[in-house]
Amino acid sequence: PLTYLLPICIVDQNPSITLEKALEPLISTLPNLQKYISTTKQRCKNPADELTQDESASIMLYSMDSQTMEQCLYYARNSALRSGDKHKLKP
């Protein structure tokens, strides 16, 4: 059965957290994450929209595929969300 979870308000509490800091807990489980962070930030140096470099890079990084599902950022984050354990989501 589906379980209703309360909203998570991490972003509002930490408006200036960097992409690196936000993803720090995942580096040990996603081996190429540090390289992907670096690559996406390089590609997003001057975003055309009104997003910051970190905001733009986080969208790009979240939508990137990997050779295996377990190495994809969106798979790891969605698994943590579905677990219902908010401690897995805090940077």
Domain boundaries, the chain: 20-88
Query: What are the pLDDT digits (tens) for 30-54?
Result: 878 898 899 999 999 998 888 999 9
* 33 φ/ψ angles, rounded to the nearest 5 degrees: -60, -45
Flag residues of the chain having pLDDT under 50. Answer: none
Give the percent of the chain with pLDDT over 70: 56
Helix (H) or strand (E) holding 71: none
C-alpha distance from residue 71 to each of 56, 66, 76 (Å):
20, 6, 7
User: Distance between CA 8 and CA 64 in Å, rounded?
Assistant: 23
Residue with tokens 């059965």: 1
Q: Are 77 and 91 in contact (CB under 8 A)?
A: no
